[in-house]
Structure 1
Amino acid sequence: MMQNRTTHSKAVLMTLIACVLIFSVGSASVLAGGRAEEDVAIRRLNMGGGWVTGVYYPLAGAMSRIVHVNMDDLSLTVESSGASVVNSNLIGSGDLDLAIVQNDVASHAFNGRAAFEGSAITNMRGMFSLYPEPVQLVARSGAGIDNPSDLAGKRVALGPLGSGAEVNALKVLEAAGLSEGDLRAAERLEAGEAADFLRDGRIDAAFFTVAIGAAVISDLAVSQDIKVVDITGRYADRLMEMEDFYAPVTIPEGTYTGVAQAETVGVVSIVVAREDLPEQLMYDFISAMFDNIDTIHSAHSAGRMVTLDTALDGMTVPLHPGAERFFAEHGMSR
């Protein structure tokens, strides 16, 4: 009888030991699995892509697709954001990780000038340049606007509040010796709204800092007689004296239906990032962009102007270490 009890006790003890071992092995596996998941954890970033109706948004979307297909450790969400000034401020606050901005606005932001006086965005770093963006002053035919000085007493859309177009418009007015007070009305309108106001005769002219052939102007030209006003001669000279990133740009005849060739000045759109993003991650990001540049080229006609050869043209802020390493490997420097 005693032997039976002893045997039974040993059996119970062995069962308990086995359960403990199974639990321990299982726990270790779960912990190991957790560590493995952490090792391949996806870094989630967001990117400011401007207005949905603009050029920045589809190009940012193309970059997001490249990341999705080619980078297992990164997820990139594109945000519809205000424009260059807004994007710069969101980089500064940490609410955006990457953004597309005009190079003139980036320079102002990094150096604490113009709209950023007293609040420099010193954590902004350059990644690569995209394409030229001419300042296009579009006027209704018959409005009597042949140069920037003719804007005096007229109703003018200066671009969306906080946009690069607004910054450029105010600079053009300054180059002409004008201010907002010299206008009959100064409107802050998104590009599509400005086109509608021109079409309806509610304004006489509007500023667009967009790629040559932008749909918003192309569509307007089909339904309304318009002209792209020359910003040349003393106006262009003054602008280039004020800011060294302005450069002459020609908009060829036929770019817009019935619109003659125009001479103006332009800036460059660039991709920027927060300085504290890991060097290796940003190196991998920019490598993926240029390894899959066809995706950007097919996203919008302006995307075809994005090339490695021009990827540092007009770069006005210091490069992110990841971008700097990438370009150094290609024999390029800012």
Structure 2
Amino acid sequence: MKKRKFLLFTIFMLTLSMVLAACGGGNANEEADSGDGGEGTTEDKPKFMSILTGGTGGTYFPLGGAFANIVSDATGIDTNAETTGASAENMQSIKDKKGEIAFTQTDIASYATEGKLMFDGNPIDNIQAIGTLYPETIQIVTTEKSGIKSVEDLKGKRVSIGAPGSGTAANAEQILEVHGLTLDDIKKQDLSFDESVNGIKDGNIDAAFVTAGTPTAAVEELSATETVVIVPVEADKADELIEKYPYYTKDEVPSGAYKLGSAVPTVAVQAMLVVESGLSEQVVYDITKSIFENLDKVQHAKAKQINPENALNGVGIDVHPGAQKYFDEKGIKPAQ
């Protein structure tokens, strides 16, 4: 009988302890999740994030790797840089929830949100901006032995316009347009920057459009074995292009890059970072702050051109509230 009473008492105590634990568990979780610095709840904070970049021969990938390390260290979120087909592909991947942060060109981000050009009938409604980074220079790359000296000389030639899903193809089409050419006037190839360089080296193509920050690793590699020529976009054609497509700006490939003897005039769009709009305000604030306040940790030469004071210039799409919070704290506004 005593054993039975003891057993019943034990069962009662175990049941009571479980009830008390369940009642108190909500408060414990709330305390763990709330934080005192506005860090956001654990439900708001993903365990893993991907930064969608571009090909290994461009600028996005090395910068993305550096940014991933910075974000991981600052936020505690395991962040990784992934190689992709770049801008347009990245926008679709964000829509498909295959990444959280992405590099893109400003023009491509605008096309995506507006459902234009390559996004016709397929607008992307879940991307918002962190901010712009640096000029994406349109470099029309060839070699001295090709004999190509002008955009018009590309007619009938084998020309790479970038990887499928990249923004470079739109740039190529628009630049050809203001020079009186279409994609039908060239023997179009859809190659990544690395593939383009190898194609030029092997004699399989004659020239390639490369939209990337200068110096671009793939073009530097080409200059080690060939005399690189950058085909100019002259001022009058640049003006015509900018009038029709205002997200372009005048730019140049500087003297000394790729062993060039003098600067070459061309045009550029802006590189920018975007995020999946469903990320919490606090997470995006932390991402934005960590990147713009740790640029000294980025070894790539392009980091010197990234300035938070310019990050809202030419964005062209909505800024994520978390990024906006950071810029507001710093008193940063778009240029008038």
Q: Same fold, TM exceeding 0.5?
A: yes
Q: State the alpha-carbon separation in 1 of the partners of residues 74 and 11 from structure 2.
A: 44
Q: Can you list the C-alpha shifts for 1:179-218, whole angstroms capped at 9, x where unaligned?
A: 12212x2111111111111112222211101111111111
Give CA deviations for 1:245-278 in whole Å, capped at 9, x if unaligned: 1111122211112453201000111001122221
**Does residue 263 of the first structure (1) align with residue 265 of the second (2)?**
yes
The aligned residue for residue 194 of structure 1 is 196
SS in 2 for 1:223: coil
Shift of 1:103: 0.8
1:75-224 alignment runs, 5 A limit = 75-183=78-186, 185-224=187-226
**Partner residue of 1:57?**
61
CA contact (8 A) 2:223 2:259 kept: yes
Question: Which residue does 1:68 correspond to in 2?
Answer: 72
State the shift of 1:161 in Å: 1.3
Q: What's the CA shift for 1:157?
A: 1.0
Q: Deviation per CA, 1:91-139, whole angstroms, max 9, x where unpaired?
A: 2233322211011111111122211122221322110111111100012
Partner amino acid for 1:62?
A
State the one-letter code of the partner of 1:107.
Answer: S
C-alpha distance in structure 1 between counterparts of 2:236 and 2:319, whole Å: 33
Q: CA deviation at 1:23?
A: 6.1
Matches within 5 A, 1:28-39: 32=25, 35=29
Deviation of residue 26 (structure 1)? 6.2
Secondary structure of 1:256 counterpart? helix
Counterpart CA distance in 2 for 1:314 and 1:147 is 29
Structure of greater Rg: 1
**CA displacement 1:223-247 (0-9 Å, x = unmatched):** 0122111111332122111211111
**Tell me, what secondary structure is at the counterpart of 2:55?**
coil
The corresponding residue for 1:6 is none
Q: Where does residue 322 of structure 1 map in the other structure?
A: 322
Judged with a 3 Å threshold, the aligned counterparts in structure 2 of structure 1 residues 28 and 209 are, in CA distance, closer, same or farther, namely farther
The yes-or-no answer on 1:281 pairing with 2:283 is: yes
> Is 2:9 aligned against 1:17?
yes
User: Aligned partner of 1:141: which letter?
Assistant: E
1:44-93 C-alpha deviation (Å, 9 max, x unpaired)? 33221222332212222222212222213x33333222110101112223
Which deviates more, 260-269 or 51-60?
51-60
C-alpha distance in 1 between matches for 2:20 and 2:225: 70
Distance in 2, matches of 1:197 and 1:290, equals 37
Q: Deviations over 1:134-178 (max 9, x none)?
A: 100012214232221111121111111111111111111111111
CA distance in structure 1 between the aligned counterparts of 2:229 and 2:120, rounded to whole angstroms? 35
Whole-Å separation in 2 of the counterparts to 1:40 and 1:120: 31
Structure 1, unmatched stretches of 5+, are 1-8
Match of 1:251 in 2: 253
Q: CA deviation at 1:22?
A: 4.3
Aligned length: 322
Deviates more, 1:272-281 or 1:211-220: 272-281
Please give the alpha-carbon distance, in whole angstroms, between the structure 1 residues aligned to 2:68 and 2:20. 37
- 8 Å contact kept, 1:51–1:57: yes
Question: 2 CA distance for matches of 1:230 and 1:11?
Answer: 96
* Contact preservation (8 Å) 2:250, 2:266: yes
Q: Secondary structure at the match of 1:138?
A: strand
Amino acid at match of 2:281: E
Where does the alignment leave 5 or more consecutive residues of structure 2 unmatched?
34-40
**1:227 alignment partner, SS class:** strand
Cα gap change, 1:167 to 1:28, in 2 (>3 Å): farther
Instruction: Identify the residue that residue 312 of structure 2 maps to in structure 1.
Output: 312
Q: CA RMSD in A?
A: 2.3
Q: d(CA) in 2 for partners of 1:260 and 1:154?
A: 25
CA distance in 1, matches of 2:62, 2:146: 34
How far the C-alpha of 1:32 sits from its partner, in A, is: 3.3
| 2:114 counterpart letter in structure 1 | N
Q: Is the 8 A contact 1:130 1:271 kept in 2?
A: yes
- SS at 2:259 equivalent: coil
2:59, 2:217 within 8 Å by CA — same for their partners in 1? no
**Counterpart contact for 1:221–1:258, Cα < 8 Å:** no
Does the C-alpha gap of structure 1 residues 26 and 312 become closer, same or farther in structure 2, counting only changes over 3 Å?
same
Q: SS of the residue aligned with 1:236?
A: helix
In 2: Cα distance, 1:27 partner to 1:56 partner: 54
Q: Counterpart of 2:333?
A: 333
Identity among equivalent positions (%) equals 30
| Secondary structure at the counterpart of residue 309 of structure 1 | helix
1:47 to 41, 44, 51: 51
